[in-house]
Structure 1
Amino acid sequence: MNSIYQEFALLLMVSAVIGAIAVRLRQPLLVAYIIVGIVVGPALFGWVGAHDQIDLLAQIGITVLLFVVGLKLDLHHIRHIGPVALATGLGQLSFTILFGFFIVLALGKGWLEALYVAVALTFSSTIIIVKLLSDKRELDSLHGRIAVGFLIVQDLAVVVAMTIMSGLGGMGEEGVGGMALALSLLARLGGAALLLFVLMRYILPRIVDTLARSQELLLIFAIAWGTTLAAAGEYVGFSKEAGAFIAGFSLASTAYREAISARLSSIRDFLLLFFFIDLGSKLDFSTLGDEVGTSIVLSLFVLIGNPLIVMAIMGYMGYRKRTGFLAGLTVAQISEFSIIFVAMGISLGHVGNSALGLTTLVGLITIALSSYMILYSHHLYAWLAPWLGVFERRHPFRELAVEHAQRDTVRPDVVIFGLGRYGSRLAHALTQQEIHVLGVDFDPEVVRAQQHHGMNARFGDGEAPDFVESLPLAGVPWVVSTLPDYASNRALLHALTLNQFKGHIAIVARDEAEAARLIHFDQVEIIHPFNQAADFAALDLAARIASAELASVKEPS
């Protein structure tokens, strides 16, 4: 290339093309960006030589990423992490680190490299999981909220691990004893905590209040504050990553955290592109071949072991096997933090490049496979359900607590499956018309909320024939499903057929494509909420226009 500008233009265009292919294949962009680095790097075409510039942008991207993580972890949010999410998160972390460490040791690695890789295997990608659950409309479901809860626990663990390992930067140096190293680490942690308290209590709120008068200036300050503390963290013997997190956390309790986070998100995503491209371009394929077997073993450990421990913990705590399975799939991959954590170990001199190559291979395998596992989680559960009974108590008390609440004995006129925004509004509107409604939802908190508002609501899984059999469906004229996907509606129809339901069935279709698939079911009426809302709005607006014209005609001239 003739200039750095042309190299960057080519880099961005290749990223856009390969990224589009990844989206088409329903893969996270993280995988695409690493592939871009491999394609444009010396391993294949060698198109890009501006490695210093890319490395600088990559470091700033990591700084912004850790800053945003700290920004979102305000003290109020941390205090309200549920006991289930906390227990599951800590249990999964402990299991993966302990067993992962011994597995990596058994595969011939040194103890420090085994420790780094084992810790890296514990982290799951919050960004990827939230995106996948949001696309499936499961972010607010019971398993979705529990998963987000223990992902927050993992985010906290990332920062703790980075802080401790960066504080142990003197490991291996001659003349540095273990006690001296521990005392030095404690002194630096204490100093950082004291400085953070003073900044959050007395200084930063006033500064941010002044700067917030200009949104552009607030954004510049956020980036400047993050990079400054990142540089300071590296200077005092920690790492840039730990300093960036502290910078974000120091602003997490301000009233402007959401505004700052929203503006930084797109900048973070753009700059992280260069980190993963830089990572892909530096992969040494001459040594990666030796790590293929190890990466497959560790990938199987993450893909199978992590979900199993989550299912075991959640089953013990009183959740059904289905909830544990769906939540467990969210930890069946490692994250961008895993790669960043090992890269930090290289910069500290703790591990070599082989550890980063191994972690990257495990990341590519687990992220690619787990994305499909989450996308097709309900099909996967239907296939594996007969063998998952060991992960469910005979009395799953947490999920049964709402199911055994007092129920209305009046035969319902309508049973509505799914009490989200549309389903709950439909139920309340019918109730106002003195129509008896029974609402069903798989989320205990949704059921409690609707019961609090006076609805006859019952907790249960509409896809389970045994539960559908327990409902008072005899003589019920209508069943309405607002379930979010085709597979769930098909399972509900199968359960209703098995229980010989004789009434009418209506299913809410969210778009024309979904309606086209649902129309193939016999004796099912399709509700088009958006079309009906538009038709009603058109009739109402036309009536208003006609009324106004009639009034103008009657006015005396």
Structure 2
Amino acid sequence: MDHQSLVFSFFLIFTGAAILASLALYTRQPLLVAYIALGAMIGPYGLSLVSDTELMTDISHAGIIFLLFLLGLDMQPSHLIHMLKKATLVAIGSSVLFFLLGYGVSLLFGFTQTESIVVGAALMFSSTIIGIKLLPTTVLHHRHTGELVVGLLLLQDLIAILVLLFLYNSMGGAESDGTMIEFAKALAALPLLILLAYVIVRYVLLKLISRFDRFHEYIFLLAIGWCLGMAEVANLCGLSAEIGAFVAGVALATSPISQYIAVSLKPLRDFFLILFFFSIGASFNLGLLEMIALPAIILAMLVLALKPMIFRVLLSRIDESKELGWEVGFRLGQISEFSLLIAYIAASAALIGEEASHLIQATAILTFLFSSYIVVLNYPSPIAVSDKLRRD
């Protein structure tokens, strides 16, 4: 894609998103619906006005990285450690149950053993983007609900990294004997990454910030460089870029300037997240819809119905209230962007066929949409259609 076509693609995406977002607001619909619908309309399987969705997906990945960085800026390390300890059993237990759900339903619809395992793995996780984007800032910063949602999502992300490492090694065929070694390397890399972030923040970044805090442009540039630098270091260590960005944010969270950085980067995050949701709609092959419609609808309905129930029951086991359990369950009542990545990698490794890959994609899109509807119609969120529930 040359420079001119890239600019033209951005014109189509953001002008189209502005038009559909206006219609969505007039009809009191969540904005995420507009972005995904636009991707399906003008992507390669629609009008084919934007054909290079791989580039858009790569660009939009930066939105997820910035989202996790901003999330880290809002988390005090002491609160985070406490919440991770409390939520570990819930995260592991829910992941096992959702895996069994996806595995069993896939087998019933005639998918192979391997395809059923991959579909089960895809159902284990909830969406970090949906979960955090629909949390008001006041809930994220000051309420137990926000801490619990974040803790569960982070633990799921760590489990997802192990699944992705396994899939990456599966692509190596006979060379995949080093899978457990790679797992060990990734697990050992995480505490080292945290230590590295702490040392650099304490002895380098905070000194630079205190010396040049009058230059807002410099602080903005330093924050972006720090976020993307840690994301790349995490990648090199066998972890995900998202984990690296989150660690970078948490390491800066104790700085008095962290909230200024968070406010400054929000528009940049939103720019990339629009591209992310557009790429979800654009990458779905509408021609395969008839083949996977029934299993996708059944899987989506089971996810939407059972995730809130399972989270409520598991959270009650750690002495959380029934009301909080339901709210956390509904906020996490979808599958994850990691599920889309699992589908793509497994298909590339020929572990699953195109039909199974699109089953995961269709289930993800359906749960993204309907879960968003449930949350914005019933709980406080920044994009709630009701003035009573809208919280920034």
Given that 1:88 and 1:150 are in contact with CA atoms closer than 8 Å, whether structure 2 keeps it comes out as: no
Q: Aligned letter for 1:158? A: Q
Q: Which residue of 1 aligns with 2:23?
A: 21
- 1:39 to partner: Cα distance: 1.0
Do structure 1's residue 117 and structure 2's residue 115 form an aligned pair? no
Q: How does 1:84-123 map to 2 (within 5 A)?
A: 88-111=90-113, 113-123=115-125
Q: 1:206 aligns with which of 203, 207, 211?
A: 203
Q: Which residue of 2 aligns with 1:11?
A: 13
SS in 2 for 1:81: helix
Q: Aligned letter for 2:303? A: V
Question: Highest Rg: 1 or 2?
Answer: 1
Q: Which residue of 2 aligns with 1:181?
A: 179
- 1:328 to partner: Cα distance: 3.5
Q: Which residue of 1 aligns with 2:225?
A: 224
- 1:104 to partner: Cα distance: 2.9
Q: 2:155 aligns with which of 154, 157, 176?
A: 157
Alpha-carbon RMSD across the aligned residues, in angstroms, is 3.8
Q: For 2:65 and 2:320, locate their aligned partners in 1 and report how far apart those are by CA, in whole Å.
A: 38
Residues 99/278 of structure 1: CA separation in 2 closer, same or farther (3 Å cut): closer
Q: For 2:136 and 2:15, locate their aligned partners in 1 and report how far apart those are by CA, in whole Å.
A: 28
- What's the TM-score, normalizing by structure 1? 0.57
Given that 2:171 and 2:349 are in contact with CA atoms closer than 8 Å, whether structure 1 keeps it comes out as: no
Q: Aligned letter for 1:22? A: A
Q: For 1:261 and 1:96, locate their aligned partners in 2 and report how far apart those are by CA, in whole Å.
A: 34
Structure that is richer in strand per residue: 1
- 1:78 to partner: Cα distance: 1.6
Q: How does 1:433-444 map to 2 (within 5 A)?
A: none
Q: For 1:112 and 1:278, locate their aligned partners in 2 and report how far apart those are by CA, in whole Å.
A: 27
Residues 194/318 of structure 1: CA separation in 2 closer, same or farther (3 Å cut): closer
Structure that is richer in helix per residue: 2
Q: Deviations over 1:334-365 (max 9, x none)?
A: 34454355456567776565555333322332
Report how many residues are paired: 374
Q: Which residue of 1 aligns with 2:290?
A: 289
Given that 1:333 and 1:363 are in contact with CA atoms closer than 8 Å, whether structure 2 keeps it comes out as: yes
Q: Which residue of 2 aligns with 1:171?
A: 170
Residues 131/244 of structure 1: CA separation in 2 closer, same or farther (3 Å cut): closer
Give the gaps of 5 or more residues in structure 1: 379-485, 487-509, 512-557
Residues 245/317 of structure 1: CA separation in 2 closer, same or farther (3 Å cut): closer
* 303-312 vs 160-169, greater mean Cα deviation: 160-169
Q: For 1:260 and 1:352, locate their aligned partners in 2 and report how far apart those are by CA, in whole Å.
A: 44
* 314-323 vs 86-95, greater mean Cα deviation: 314-323
Which of structures 1 and 2 has the larger relative contact order (alpha carbons within 8 angstroms, sep 6+)? 2
Given that 1:27 and 1:368 are in contact with CA atoms closer than 8 Å, whether structure 2 keeps it comes out as: no
Q: For 2:105 and 2:201, locate their aligned partners in 1 and report how far apart those are by CA, in whole Å.
A: 46
Q: Aligned letter for 1:262? A: V
SS in 2 for 1:170: helix
Give the gaps of 5 or more residues in structure 2: 380-385
SS in 1 for 2:272: helix
Q: For 2:84 and 2:237, locate their aligned partners in 1 and report how far apart those are by CA, in whole Å.
A: 35
Given that 2:38 and 2:278 are in contact with CA atoms closer than 8 Å, whether structure 1 keeps it comes out as: yes
Q: Deviations over 1:214-234 (max 9, x none)?
A: 332222223223333434444
- Aligned-pair identity (%): 27
Q: For 1:255 and 1:112, locate their aligned partners in 2 and report how far apart those are by CA, in whole Å.
A: 50
Q: Deviations over 1:79-100 (max 9, x none)?
A: 3329876655554333223333
Given that 1:298 and 1:362 are in contact with CA atoms closer than 8 Å, whether structure 2 keeps it comes out as: yes
Residues 82/220 of structure 1: CA separation in 2 closer, same or farther (3 Å cut): closer
Q: How does 1:509-520 map to 2 (within 5 A)?
A: none
Residues 52/374 of structure 1: CA separation in 2 closer, same or farther (3 Å cut): closer
- 1:57 to partner: Cα distance: 1.9
Given that 1:132 and 1:374 are in contact with CA atoms closer than 8 Å, whether structure 2 keeps it comes out as: yes
Q: For 1:173 and 1:373, locate their aligned partners in 2 and report how far apart those are by CA, in whole Å.
A: 41
Q: Which residue of 1 aligns with 2:43?
A: 41
